[in-house]
Structure 1
Amino acid sequence: MNQYLAVTSNGLENLLVEELTQLGITNAKPVQAGVKFKATNEQIYRCCLWSRLASRFVRVLSEFTCMDDMDLYLSTTAVNWVNQFHSTKRFVVDFNGTNNEIRNSQYGAMKVKDAVVDCFEKKSLPRPSISKENPDIRIHVRLHRDKAILGVDMVGSGLHQRGYRPESGRAPLRETLAAAILLRSGWDATKPFLDPMCGSGTLVIEAAMMAANMAPGVKRQKWCFESLEDFEPELWAEVKAEANVQGRRGVKKVECKFFGYDNDERMIKTARDNARRAGVEELIEFEVGDAAKLKRPTEFTDGVIVSNPPYGERLGTEPGLIALYTAFGAQLKAEFGGCNASIFSSSDELLSCLRMRADKQFKLNNGALPCHQKNYSISDRPMSERPTGEQEQLIAPDFANRLKKNIGKIGKWAKKEQLDCYRIYDADLPEYNVAIDVYPGHLVIQEYAAPKDVPEDKAKRRLTDIIRASIQVTGVEANNVVLKVRQKQKGRSQYQKMAQDSSNLEVNEYGVKLIVNLHDYLDTGLFLDHKITRRRIGEMASGKDFLNLFAYTGSASVHAAVGGARSTTTVDMSNTYLEWAKENMELNGRVGRQHQFVQADCLQWLAKEQGSYDLIFIDPPTFSNSKRMDQSFDVQRDHIQLMEDLKRLLREEGTIVFSNNKRHFKMDMEGLEELGLKAQNISSKTLPLDFSRNKHIHNCWLITHK
């Protein structure tokens, strides 16, 4: 007998012990991420062919203390490699781990390679060659602190590569992990099985192979143990033949039904191809179907639903996923009473959207990603008789009721004012710390950073509840709910896209048409708190020359043009926003040389500009770096310098509309007076109803010559 190490994922060791015991191993002992045992050649051949959980099997040749590279070299040369494989075989070293002295796995692999080659040369044998691409032999080294395990890999490529899925195909789960999920799901292999989001079919194919008692490795073409000196080809042929016979017979004996659905027709085709290669195509019914509208198949009596739904990788995907999980949970409860379900996901928050109480739960890793598997018993009682947690009810009722109240009041006002875009919630309740804006058929939810004393998991759960409740209360489609995270913008990051796809939307504001983009940027292109300011500018602009500084997407310029301005000059540092401003102007039929767009640092441009204007709107950042200033621009510190520059451009009867977002901004009245200017605070008059709960969102001033 030889000593072996079966390698698996953390957390699956005990499951693997059970599996090896069923395969005839009597001395299996779990270790971290593996199981140690002794086996004959026949036993190890069976383990390699039949294990669904192990990622590989290693014949352990040496375990030793490894303090440095000399320990590694000497311990490797102590192994009689000539007895393991012939010098004509090509090999590679897989070295995993480091310690204080061996800090690089490539260096460790090189030392082992040198030691192996030296063993052959010392016996006057040819040096075996190295092949990283297609080796016959894989030497396995695992180093942890000062302990090392040295051996030969029995399998080659990982055992998750069953042979039915081309490596170019996308698979959300490794087959070994899929098998673990199935074993932990509580599924009885004689019962019907359904995966409503099957993707390339990994879970349902593995389930069908289990039910048919098919060896998972029977389709593999190459095994490293075939290149070892003690390989017994007749014995291996016998083990394989036995497995092939069992598989063919098993497929014919299967009586339960298997179903695989996915909303992507291409994935269903891939899944069918994979099932055909696996030899279980006749057992599985694949269909294009939406898990959010899942119906119970006629043949599905008391089976199990096992699935690995999608999870979000990119900011903004959460609303759609929350809606998917919510609808999926509702369909499970409505259609599959008396059945069981086991759902695997990286997000505990998304699993909570199922609105089901788990009987059991497990923690597993999908690669490096921590995941949860939860098993549910679905009640067969009518929905009205089920526990409250399973019935449809108002989500986050305090938040939902506040949202309803705000919509009733603000929605009516917005309709009267001809406003497509308005805010319906702005952190009204401290524990639900978001702002929610309405756009035609859309919601934009802006998440404010949670206080440091709020645990991350609690903040995630609240955000999930906010999104679910917002969809429930407003009736907006989940795919039209956009999630953004408010954060400080540095440098040119404020001009960068959040995504590559363009998604423009035309909106109406007091009769002016404007373009917003809800997805591609942190902001949408329209600051909603300034809607009354823009309307006021339109009312003041008739027959006047208008200047808009720090213009963003030029919405104030458009209001001025629609209001009858003689000319508009729109200045911003971002060419992206200036192009946007031009589109806004053209959308309202205002084109011509009287409408100028200037890309420039506004503070530098101010210092050089020689023109004069009747009406100037300036809404500078609270703080920014600028070449004009020695170090930076601070609106509180530098607003008098700014007014001095603006005064030079302001005609005798002209007006400056000055706004900023600095909380507790204090106008330097004495400084203004010294410049010959006077200011009127109109902040309260420019605060729209939808921002009345946030009186410090901006401050606004009318500044004129004395």
Structure 2
Amino acid sequence: MTNTQDFEIFLATLPGLEAVLHDEVRTKGFKQARPVPGGVVIRGGWPEVWRANLWVRGAGRVLARLDSFRVVHLAQLDARARRIPWGSVLRPDLPFRVEASCAESRIYHSGAAAERIETAIRETLGAPHAPEDGILVRARIEHDLCTISIDTSGEPLHKRGYKEAVNRAPMRETMAALFLRQCGFDGSEPVLDPMCGSGTFVIEAAEIAARLNPGRARRFAFERLATFDAEAWERMRAVKSARAPAARFHGSDRDAGAVAMSRANAERAGVTEFTEFRQATISEVAPPEGPPGLVILNPPYGTRIGDGKQLSPLYRALGQTLLSRFGGWRVGIVTNEPRLAHATGLPFLPPGAPVPHGGLRVTLFRTGPLPN
């Protein structure tokens, strides 16, 4: 594979959010984007791999697909793995590791499959194997079709590089970005999170509005590949897309520690100028001056923080505050309990698919503009 080659690139997301990620990927100009279970596939070369890691907010990781072939036994897998030109992608001086998964295939032992591929790479390329810190080679064998990919991201992409402080049960930045998109947020309106925790929704909204690349402050696994062109990458990173947002982004929380945490995270992200955090209970929350926008929050829910029955009054108070003060604003609430969402009394639109989050399945409940 060279920098000019065209191959499949897989952008992973949580099941249930593929269509939302597909919408984002299309708006950012990637070609032949199509949603598939677990993510979105695009086509391109290594510059598209770099760009996807740098630009796309909703992807959890970016995989470059090296080869795909039918395989029914381990000896066949071994032979095919040795025919992949590993030296065109991996460097012989840097460690690698292999992870495999098998589903409904005659090769059913993922550990044995990973071992065969690892041996093939080691013996054909000479690169060292390191189970902890190597470039990740992924093999997926499903219905006897084996797809070999390189994880070009390294650390998951929700790790933007600014969030040192987190609260309990934090929302991942990638998920927050997709939920914001599902609520129709495009960066042109204010956002308020009245239970802001570590500030994820507010900071993500501010970054979208300021057109800051989500990957601007971190490193990626593709920088350690044989295909990496440091000069071309620096030129790509140097392109300035930032602008001053027309709106401001607000967070509040009853916990002073959460407010301090959000401010620190916003400062590291470089969005302090556009964000505002203050200590307030739900009953004290009021809309900021200016036009209506979006209220979005990830409140406590029963098996996440606290007990479901004890939380009903909190949701009722939230609904009363929003209905009485936030006419014209839209609302998005993330919870795993429809009963709690409906305790708000808010006029929700039909919900989307549940999404896995922290061992639970959560749903985004959305409204249109609330009545004045």
Question: TM-score of the superposition, structure 2-length normalised?
Answer: 0.92
Amino acid paired to 1:19 = E
Question: For 1:294 and 1:97, how far apart are their aligned partners in 2?
Answer: 53
Which residue pairs with 1:166 in the alignment?
164
| CA 27–262 in structure 1, closer or farther in 2 if over 3 Å, else same | same
How much has 1:186 moved relative to structure 2?
1.7
Give the conservation status (yes or no) of the 8 Å contact 1:359–1:374: yes
Alignment of 1:38-437 (within 5 A): 38-99=43-104, 101-120=106-125, 127-135=126-134, 137-166=135-164, 170-220=168-218, 222-242=219-239, 245-247=240-242, 250=243, 253-291=244-282, 293-313=283-303, 317-367=307-357, 368-381=359-372
CA shift at 1:166, angstroms? 2.9
Deviations along 1:314-365, one digit per CA (max 9) or x if unpaired, are 8981232111101100110011112111111111110010112213421231
Alignment of 1:603-642 (within 5 A): none
- Counterpart of 2:230 in structure 1: which amino acid? P
Matched residue SS, 1:46 = helix
Q: Is the partner of 1:237 in helix, strand or coil?
A: helix
Contact 1:99/1:146 (<8 A) preserved: yes
Partners of 2:365 and 2:167 in 1: how far apart? 27
Cα–Cα, structure 1 residues 273 and 5, in superposed 2: closer, same or farther, change >3 Å? same
Q: Is the 8 A contact 1:98 1:105 kept in 2?
A: no
The letter of the residue matching 1:128 is A
Q: Work out the CA distance in 2 between the residues paired with 1:159 and 1:258.
A: 23
Whole-angstrom distance in 2 between the partners of 1:232 and 1:314: 44
Q: Tell me, yes or no, if the aligned pair for 1:196 and 1:261 is still in contact at 8 Å.
A: yes
Q: How far, CA to CA, are the matches of 1:235 and 1:313 in structure 2? A: 47
Bigger radius of gyration, 1 or 2?
A: 1
Read off the aligned partner of 1:154 and give its amino acid letter: T
What is the aligned residue count? 366
Q: Contact 1:171 / 1:200 at 8 angstroms: preserved in 2?
A: no
Q: Is the 8 A contact 2:17 2:355 kept in 1?
A: no
Shift of 1:380: 3.4
Label 1:130 to 1:315 Cα distance change in 2 as closer, same or farther (>3 A).
closer
Identity %: 31
Residues 149, 377 of structure 1: alpha-carbon distance in 2 compared, 3 angstrom cutoff: same
Q: Relative contact order (alpha carbons < 8 A, sep ≥ 6): 1 or 2 greater?
A: 2
The DSSP-based 3-state class of the residue aligned with 1:60 is strand
Superposed CA offset, 1:468-519 (max 9, x none): xxxxxxxxxxxxxxxxxxxxxxxxxxxxxxxxxxxxxxxxxxxxxxxxxxxx
Q: Give distance in 1, aligned partners of 2:231 and 2:248.
A: 37
CA distance change for structure 1 residues 326 and 97 in 2, over 3 Å: closer, same or farther? farther
How far apart, CA to CA, are the structure 1 residues paired with 2:272 and 2:98? Answer: 38
Task: Give the direction of change, closer, same or farther, for the CA distance of 1:16–1:319 in structure 2 (3 Å limit).
Answer: closer
Going from structure 1 to structure 2, the CA distance change for 1:282 and 1:90 (only over 3 Å counts) comes to same
1:72 Cα offset (Å): 2.7
Separation (CA, whole Å) in 1 of partners of 2:143 and 2:198: 40
* CA shift for structure 1 position 66: 3.0
The residue type paired with residue 317 of structure 2 is A
Q: Is the 8 A contact 2:300 2:306 kept in 1?
A: no
* Aligned-residue offset at 1:209: 0.5
Cα displacement string for residues 395-427 of structure 1 (whole angstroms, at most 9, x for unaligned residues): xxxxxxxxxxxxxxxxxxxxxxxxxxxxxxxxx
Write the mapping of 1:549-698 to structure 2, written as runs, cut at 5 A. Answer: none
1:434 aligns with none
- Tell me the secondary structure at the aligned position of residue 377 of structure 1: coil
CA–CA distance in structure 2, aligned partners of residues 169 and 353 of structure 1: 25
Distance 1:271 1:192 in 2: 17
| TM norm structure 1 | 0.50
Q: Is residue 88–residue 128 contact of structure 1 (8 Å, CA) maintained in 2?
A: yes
Task: Structure 2: state its 5+ residue gaps.
Answer: 1-5
Q: What is the alpha-carbon distance in structure 2 between the residues aligned to residue 304 and residue 316 of structure 1?
A: 26
Structure 1 residue 3 displacement after superposition: 2.3
Q: Tell me, yes or no, if structure 1 residue 25 matches structure 2 residue 30.
A: yes
Q: CA RMSD in A?
A: 2.1
Question: How far is the alpha carbon of 1:23 from its aligned partner?
Answer: 2.5
Kindly indicate whether the alpha-carbon contact (under 8 Å) linking 2:302 and 2:311 is maintained by their aligned counterparts in 1: yes
Q: For each residue in 1:11-53, what CA deviation from the matched residue of structure 2 results, as whole angstroms up to 9, or x when unmatched?
A: 2222222322233222112221122221133222211100011
Taking the aligned partners of 1:106 and 1:238, their CA distance within structure 2 comes to: 41
C-alpha displacement at 1:151, in angstroms?
A: 1.5
**Range with bigger deviation, 34-43 or 87-96:** 34-43
**Aligned partners of 1:196 and 1:294 also within 8 Å:** no
Q: How far has the Cα of 1:94 moved from its partner?
A: 2.7
**In the superposition, relative to structure 1, how do residues 193 and 223 fare at CA in structure 2: closer, same or farther (>3 Å)?**
same
- With over 3 angstroms needed to count, the CA separation of the structure-2 counterparts of 1:256 and 1:64, relative to structure 1, is same
1:314–1:128 distance in 2 versus 1, CA, 3 Å: closer
> C-alpha distance in 2, partners of 1:358/1:307?
14
Aligned equivalent of 2:3: none
Q: Secondary structure at the match of 2:352?
A: strand
Report the AA paired with residue 238 of structure 1: R
Aligned match of 2:11: 6
Q: For the residues of structure 2 that align with 1:107 and 1:275, how far apart are their CA atoms?
A: 45
Judging changes above 3 Å, is the alpha-carbon distance between structure 1 residues 314 and 192 closer, same or farther for their aligned structure 2 residues?
closer
Letter in 1 for 2:160: R
Q: SS where residue 148 of structure 2 aligns?
A: strand
Q: 1:365 to 1:112 in 2, by over 3 A?
A: same
**Over residues 128-151 of structure 1, what are the superposed CA-to-partner deviations in whole Å (9 max), with x where a residue is unaligned?**
11223332x221222323222101
SS across alignment from 2:9 = strand
- Kept in 2, the 8 Å contact 1:77–1:116? The answer is yes
The secondary structure found in structure 1 opposite 2:235 is: helix
The question of whether the paired residues in 2 share the 8 Å contact of 1:171 and 1:202 is answered with no
State the AA in 2 paired with 1:14: A
Q: Specify the SS of the correspondent of 1:85.
A: coil
Q: Tell me the distance in 2 between the aligned counterparts of 1:289 and 1:154.
A: 42
